[in-house]
Structure 1
């Protein structure tokens, strides 16, 4: 117990495609990844590889889909990770496997691998190649292997099988009999058929819909045809209408030309009138300017009148106060009149009493008339004197009252004048205070205005400096962006050229690696070797893999001349050649020539004694073909006699020399640069459309060098672009900083300008207040002087009136 039997069973179920974590005694599928212990760190993936032995051997494993792009990568990865020796070879050979192809496994072994990463990604591999879960299930379907199959019986599974229902036991029996595989295929086929039926139903629906639309399309076609006919008729009628319209317009144009001449004459007349009107306007404008000057003078006078109105308003207020004083005096006079009326009544009563007394006295007087008759004349005289005295007293009383009224009026005027002087003094103090305040405000405003003007000038200088700097940065940024755009375009072109060259290089490598230029028999041989059909046969390649042309002028000629020799399969020894021949004869079509690699003394090729012509211009021979070729890899030290045609081939300068030499030396070959070869009485030549292996190898070298140069230029351009983008980013950041500083400076300049205008308006208001205050002071000074003079005059008059009243009262 506890030795890990269940773990092995779970691992086998998991690698065969188990998808339920509960069946693996876990909560999540990530639980199968080693979580670590105190002494060991947790792992990042879980991997199970199961190798099965196929007793039938050479069984072909169908892979429904193998990713084309992963062929080379998986070949390397599996070659290093799992120790397969054929990783790189399979990467190249099977990189283009697609649906329908088969990948042949190693003899007697099938390796199934499943991996699960902590990121949740999962992958399946069959013999080191990526595959799908469906491929695994199809591979083991009907074999009894699988997470739900009878081959894996866990603890408690026997009792479950024994107690299961007949339907469940039937599934196990069908799996054991191999029926499940066909049922699954049937189910898939039925699903495909059902999908096909649905597609056919949709097709029939579409056809029915299209058939319904045919009549509508016919009507639309008839309408379109009718439209074309009507359009043709309309074009004809339109031509007639346009022709008539054209003639009408010609007549109107002639009439318009006459009207234009008349309008031109009228225009000239009106131009003269306009010139006169402009002169009048100039005169009126000058008069307007004069009127505006007069208006300015009147406005100044209006301001003076407003000042006089203020003064008059002050005088009116003073007169109102005088009217109040007069009303008070009238009330006082009414009071004195009432007192006089009371005294008159008293005098009337006294007069009545006196009359009564007089009556008594008259009675007495009648008695004493006689006595009084003598004194009657004296009484008359005394009465006349009394009346004179009374009239004098009344006149003096009236004089006293008049003097008293005048004195009171003068006193009231003095009081008013004193009040007015006090108000003038207060107004003068207020005006002086306003003048001082206005003067201080003016000085403060002028000082602030000077400071703001200095700040504004400094801001303007800063703004100009920032604007110049911003302009320079923008120009530099524009230049950098232009260069970056050009560099980006150049980089795109370089990337396109690099991609094209890389694709061409990959294509050339693919063609060369698969030897697409060789015959079908050679390709079949190498395919069979790669598939392991001849495990002891290890060809080194074809002769074209070991040959390089030094002089490019004879490359095409060499390919045409050595066309068959370049397809020789190079092997290490004669045994390898025999095994190759046996492989060809066992199941392949065609013929293949094997070239044994010379090794040591045994590899020396005996040369036949063939007369050789001298080389030089006098014979028309430029040299040997072996001199323009170079054998590489394992054939570097091989003699030219290894390929007889190569050893006996000479390069001729022209056709005449080649013809002559071929007749003189019939055992030799004379080759021209255009590929024509002379050999005795035989002449061979023609035109080859495609490039041969030598041309492909040369093109591969050129493309590789060109690609390397392009990659270097691309790296430099990329570095330049990154440098330009860095400079652009710095310049853009600097431009944003300058833009922000400029906006801040502009805001401050606008604020200072507003402050400047506000200070100018405040200065104007202060100047106006100062002017008004000074004018008010002058007015108050004049009013105060006039009021003082009037006060002195009234004081003198009051003293005179009081003296006269005192004299009159003294006389009374």
Structure 2
């Protein structure tokens, strides 16, 4: 086995796929510092399962993925695959080449594969461990590993030897057995506690189970009676509800009709009110239009008068003849005009003051009119609201009156019903007492049946006890058989050693007879003595002839399977026992205690030549002294001879002893199997006996059921009568409570009615008083006329102001004009003509204004008449609408009262139905929750129309009887009394007792199994400890020997040795290293120089490598600190190691490179990516 290929892709500095092909021998990996040489070592560790990031020279495991450079991006995963040549079959897998691959993704995920098949990390570690490559990777010596070895503790050095010796699998086997033992101890304690607790619980639970058997029969009758009574109640209530719901439909029809009529009336009332609200603005607009047109008429009349006067003035001025005047006259007229202008301005100011007074009066009159109109509108709304409130109070009053009447009738009905129910309860109670007396007489005469039934029950109980004992015996026998089978299997595992003898037995070579221990039979008690007498031959393999022995040796060497003893059957001449001295009495030769096949008899006698069995050491010494040439063995395995004594404590049982134990276990297993079969036969016979007794008991039970059926009929009648009495009494109480509740409601309603009547009377008085004081429209009309007069007065005064202003404007500047007239006399003629034209135009305009005002007044007169007619029509429409609204409101009150009565009636019926529905729901809930039966099933199977089947103890010709409530009530009462007489019952006692009894037997069997299995596991642990001690002792001795030799070669004249810290305990002892270089007396490693310490560590590792060779070793710069002399010595060691192992060395030393068979150069350019070149070297022969 050797490493063949290593492929790196994305691992550390190897960004691209890089493959290194190795050959047997020494391969050196060289290159400058930092080029990535050690990454090859890290890749090997990583692909073989290394889990420590620090061991890979990183902070976290993701650091092994290529992190990228300035010229290349980082990769998302790292992948390393290692191909191993397995031609020699060193790895336990059926492939000549094994490829291990490990992949890590940057998100932390990992994948493992063996030959392309996905696997676990544990699978890879298990595969490599069988070839001496453990989890600690002692075959890979990385940078700083030498220092770790130097500073390692004794236990850590022991771990290196254990890993090289392949002890890990034994440790794992022991740890697994100890884990099972620890887990088993807890189970053993729990099972022991549970078994004791169950034993305490069985006796009281058995008594409870007997009571539960009797109660089960009574409870069946009790349940049947309860179901039938409950079904009767549900059917009765359902029929009553159906009838009341039919009556409800008629009331609902009438109520819906009343609701429809009321809704229509209320809608009409709403329409009329909305129409009134909508018409009010139209009436206000008509009135406002009339008054506005009146005001406009007055204004146009004033404009027409002013225009007429203006026209007359212009015509008069136009007719005047302009005469020329002299300047003096004009100046005199100017003075007169100035005085006249002053007078006109004074009159104009007075007219304006009068106009302002008129405007103020007109605004006040209009404000008063608006306030009066708003007051009238508010009063109208308040009156409507008062009328509506009175209607609502009237409806509520009538409704309460109807409810009071209904309550009176309901109270009367409830009182009568309570009285009737009380009478029914008294009658039912009397009948119940009579039926109870009759039932008491039916309970006599069942004593003989009871005694017979109890006798059969005792017989069944005894047979069941015997059955349980047989079942326990069967479980015990089966448990003993299983434990013996497990012991035999465990002991057989102890025979399957993976050593030379085991390899030969597995190979099945021609002439192979088998293991000597398996071929011979030793008398019991002499196994240890005979094994000691055989010595190494106890574990030997027997072959037919010398050729077979030679073939076996060649196989061991070719497969490097270790050493083995071989006994040749035909190579030994027959032994002449006549030459043996006669032993004293009570002592016999060992050959007499061994039986062997004929072809092996001579060989066995030769191996046991003159060996006697001595009872003790003292007798053995005497026999050896008295009988020349005789060897004596004791039962403890101590061998005494004239020239030597061999003995002590055995490291582990011999194969003869183990084989004897296997044979004994096989015999006991066969006996246990026969015992189990015998118990099974007895168990079947006892089961048949129990079936016969159970059949007879069933016949008695049937007869008892017939008797019980007769009593059940009586009990049914009692139950029915008792139920009727209780039901009638409860019904009377319910009716009385309902009557009291109705009386309380009546009192509350009467109080409410009195309060409502007072509120209604008060509201009607207030409404009457307000209607008497209701404002009329006369005051509003007066205010309207007053506002019209104010507007007319304002118009007249406004015209007076405008006339005064016109006159003032006409005379304004007259004096200046007269003064200037003299200067302008010459221009007067020309301007006079122009003025005449203007005056004519103004006169025409004034005439047109007069005509337009006339026409407007005529049209406004028409509009005013239409507005007056519209206002009158709106007033009439309002009066008609108010009359209809009054009628509709009266209809609404009547319908509200009728609807309230119908609603009260429906409410009363709904309350009664709700009570029945509630009662029905309670019964349905009771059926489901207490009895576990839904209503359809209950009515279908237990309803009053379903016949009652005969009782269990009735005559076989008995027929089902019709349902009678009194009978079922009596039946219920009897069952309840019988159940009470039994006292408190545990309903689960039967199941609990059977389960507890079965569990107790099961736990007893399990307890024995656990104890036996624990003993077997303890044997396995002891066997593993012996094997570990044996393998470690052998490995340590070899390593100790190799270390002394290698140290002497690396340090000529020096001395090095390994020392056990606890030689008395080879299972846990540590290992100390003592090194004394030549010329020095120190032994402690800490006092050595750096080179000496490194060389000592190398010597220790090399000693392990040579003592327990591994297929390959990887060393990273282990010789870096050595000088040429020491390096040469180390290379000699490398040359020796290459004979059995493949070496991969990371180095800077040229002399190391010269010793290599192949070179790999690792370089790194400026891109930070490692590259590899290879060169195979031709070594001199």
TM-score normalized by the length of structure 1:
0.33
Higher relative contact order (CA closer than 8 Å, sequence separation 6+): 2
TM-score normalized by the length of structure 2:
0.23
